Amino acid sequence: MISQSLFAACAVLPGWDKHLRLDAWQNWQTMPLPTIRDEAWKYTNLARLEKTIFIKPATTPSSLTLNDIPLTIPEDRFCFINGSFNPALSAPLNAESYLLSQRAWPSIPKKQQTPVSYFERLNAAMLSDGLYLDIKKNSNNPIYLVLLQDKTAEFSTHHLRHRIKVHAGIKSEIVIVDWGLADTTSLTTYVIDIELSEGAELNCIHLKKAGTQGYHIRQTHAHLAKNSHLNHFNFDFGAKLSRNEISAWLQGEHAACQLNGLALARAQDHIDNQTKIGHLAPKTNSLEQYRGIIDDKACHIFHGHVLIDAHAPDSIANQQNKNILLTSTGQAYAEPQLEIYNQNVQCIHGATVGDIDAEALFYLRSRGLSDEIARQLLIFGFARSILETIHDKSLQSELALWIKTHLALDSELILDLYREDDHEDIN
């Protein structure tokens, strides 16, 4: 997969601990690739990835512009192209937002520094760059972190790590966009550390479209202090292999998180969502809603682990996973896993895999809607229930158009749905 010479060819980030990097490389080399015999990789076979030889590290930024992606990217943004930071397309760096390659890696607790998993070790060894966001001020505008890949990324490998810290009582929003402009064979590992101080609030929206040949493996770790609140949204438009792991640790009393996700898998896409929520303090609250729409021969996996510690009485956890299979060749695996060590908690979970609701289809048709329109409406409605949980209305309608294009839905139909909503604002 990755040779010693490719590792040697990777530039060493000045801010990155050399020993840590070398340790990680050596540890990675000695660690076997996870196989389907490993519980956490039961449905995701890495054999093909193992056979793929990647030959290039992060490349020099190409001449891409942001007009190449169908999404409005505001000016508060930091762009990485083919794994490298692109200052021309980015907002100025400053004391509160700086590159890992420019300054020392900010202190992270020792325990979190040592990468445990296979891909995190690889990420630590090969790290191309990353951003540190030290958020001390409230802002009404979201910050965009954009990763673009174009066709020159063929057989390259990119490894990014961002660290986001939101200070006490501060509210912030971050939108992370990973966009593959071409269907290149590439491997991206992505580690995101989120730290929310007491009373902090973060909306984090992650949009991913990695191209049909991309391998994209992301690990997000969030640590939440007392009264802090994380709303994390994961919209995945598919890849050859897209793996999203997120862990949210509710460490302080009244910490709360919402983890929502929408997987739109088609063709031969493989989307594997692994979530873990740890309730470690009393009166912590989690809400999780993941949905999948699976077409063609695609596959969606949802594994949701909720841990309620003995020291977390009066906690509430609600996990829901729903999947629609549009074909008989698609696959969906729904695995809730609850681990509860305190009796005084409320825990609800549910998982479904099925076709389009036949009752609802008949209902719409009995009102005069054609089979095709009724189906599209139900599919879009299913996605929309997740889409509507993000508060940003303009991002919501842009995403609706992405979804429309991705699922080849009638554009008039979707536009119309949004026009109807406009009436609500008028009235």
Q: Report the residue number, 4 or 366, with the smaller CB distance to another protein.
A: 366
Report the C-alpha gap between 86 and 174 in whole angstroms: 18
Q: What are phi and psi of 377, to 5 degrees?
A: -65, -40
Q: Closest distance between another protein and the C-beta of residue 264, in Å?
A: 14
Q: From the centroid of its chain, how far is CA 329? A: 25
- Closer residue to another protein in complex, CB, 181/351: 351
Does 412 engage in binding with another protein (CB under 8 A)? no
Tokens 């009264």 -> residue: 227
Q: How far is the CB of 370 from another protein (least distance, A)?
A: 6
The least CB distance from residue 292 to another protein, in Å, is 15
419 binding another protein? (CB under 8 A): yes
Task: Give me 165's structure tokens.
Answer: 């810290």
Between residues 107 and 366, which has the closer beta carbon with respect to another protein?
366
Task: Give the shortest CB-236-to-another protein separation in angstroms.
Answer: 19
Write out the binding residues for another protein, residues 7-66 only, by CB under 8 A.
none
Smallest separation, CB 378 to another protein (Å): 7
Q: Residue 80: beta bridge partners?
A: 85, 147
Q: What is the DSSP string of 60-115?
A: PP-S--GGGSSS---SSEEEEETTEE-GGGSPPPBTTEEETTTSPPPP--HHHHS-
| Binding mask of the shown chain, residues 289 to 308, with x at each position contacting another protein by CB under 8 A | --------------------
Task: Give the C-alpha separation, 191 to 183, whole Å.
Answer: 22
Q: Does 155 bind another protein (CB under 8 A)?
A: no
Residue 321, burial from CB neighbour count under 10 angstroms (0-12, 13-18, 19+): buried
CA distance 257 to 263: 20
Distance of closest approach, residue 211 Cβ to another protein, in angstroms = 28
Q: How far is the CB of 402 from another protein (least distance, A)?
A: 16
* Residue with Cβ nearer another protein (237 or 382): 382
CB of 165 closer than 8 Å to CB of 198 = no
Task: With contacts defined by CB under 8 A, name the span among 85-93, 109-117, 265-273, 411-419 that binds another protein.
Answer: 411-419
Nearer residue to another protein within complex by CB, 75 or 359? 359
Pairing of strands 256-265, 285-294: parallel
Please identify, using beta-carbon distances, which residue of 43 and 402 lies nearer to another protein: 402
> Residue 80 or 382: which CB sits closer to another protein?
382
Instruction: Measure the CA–CA gap between 28 and 341, rounded to whole angstroms.
Output: 34
At a CB cut-off of 8 Å and minimum separation 6, what does 278 contact? 247, 248, 249, 250, 307, 309
Smallest separation (angstroms) from another protein to the CB of 372: 10
Q: Among all chains, which residue has been given the structure tokens 């969030």? A: 222
Angle, alpha carbons 404-143-285 (nearest 5°):
80
Read off the tokens for 62: 């190409």
Query: In whole angstroms, how close is the CB of 354 to another protein at the nearest point?
Result: 14
Smallest distance from another protein to CB 386, Å: 9
Q: In whole angstroms, give the CA distance from residue 53 to residue 327.
A: 33
**Which one, 39 or 422, has the nearer CB to another protein?**
422
Asked if residues 269 and 238 have their Cβ atoms less than 8 Å apart, the reply is yes
For another protein, the closer CB: 20 or 373:
373
The DSSP line for 390-427 is: S--HHHHHHHHHHHHHHTT--HHHHHHHHHHHHHHHH-
Binders in 224-253 for another protein, by CB under 8 A: none
- 312 or 390: whose CB is closer to another protein? 390
Instruction: Please identify, using beta-carbon distances, which residue of 75 and 425 lies nearer to another protein.
Output: 425
Restricted to residues 349-408, the positions that interact with another protein (CB under 8 A) are: 357-360, 362-371, 373-374, 377-378, 380-385, 388
For the CB of residue 404, give the shortest distance to another protein in the complex, in Å. 14
Distance of CA 170 to the CA centre of its chain: 23
d(CA 260, CA 204): 10
Interface with another protein (CB under 8 A), residue total: 33
Tell me the window of 11-19, 147-155, 232-240, 414-422 that interacts with another protein (CB under 8 A): 414-422
Residues that bind another protein (CB under 8 A): 357-360, 362-371, 373-374, 377-378, 380-385, 388, 416-417, 419-421, 423-424, 427
